[in-house]
Amino acid sequence: MTTKKLLFTFLLSGLQILLFAQVKPTNPKPYKPPVLTTALGSLTGKAFASKEEVLNIIGLPILITDSKKTSYKISSYQIIYREITQIEDDKTGEVKSASDMVSQHFKESPLPEVWIRNIKERLKPHEELYFFDVIVKDSQGRRFYAPDLSITIK
């Protein structure tokens, strides 16, 4: 009986050593995402464009590239269309300009046809299209943010 207890104790201590002798995971080298550019047609960054120019490019896909002109696949993005509208003051009857925003989250570029049609029908000077939270994926499946794109209509 004592031999069984001794063997059992020895096996338990051996198992304990194996459990604590696991290899610690190595810390992977931190990944530094490349410097990217977000473009719609020829517009990048904080751009000012004519209504005609925006009408011509609004149906194009958003392009994300790095300094080596490598393209990145868009995983998702959001857009805000800030439009200028007219409202009537209920008390005075005076018509005033006001700003209204429409926003949506997308997973594919170019914009859906309904968005393209609405922008083409309603776009006016001083309005803004703002593409933000642009998330891209590289060839190894890593995801990271691309810069925002703001287009103000002249």
Domain count, the chain: 1
Q: DSSP of 21-66, one letter per residue?
A: TPPPPPPPPPP-PPPEEEEETTEESEEEE-HHHHHHHTTSPEEEEE
Dist CA 148 CA 133 (whole Å): 7
Dist CA 104 CA 106 (whole Å): 7
Residues 39-96: tens digit of each pLDDT: 999 999 999 999 999 999 999 999 999 999 999 999 999 999 999 988 888 888 898 8
Whether the full predicted model's pTM is greater than 0.85, yes or no, is no
Give the largest Cα separation in the chain, rounded: 102
**What is the predicted pLDDT for the residue at 82?**
96
In a domain, 1, yes or no: no
Residues 90-139: tens digit of each pLDDT: 888 898 888 999 999 999 999 999 999 999 999 999 999 999 999 999 99
Instruction: Look up the domain containing 90 and give its range.
Output: 32-153
In a domain, 66, yes or no: yes
In a domain, 147, yes or no: yes
In a domain, 20, yes or no: no
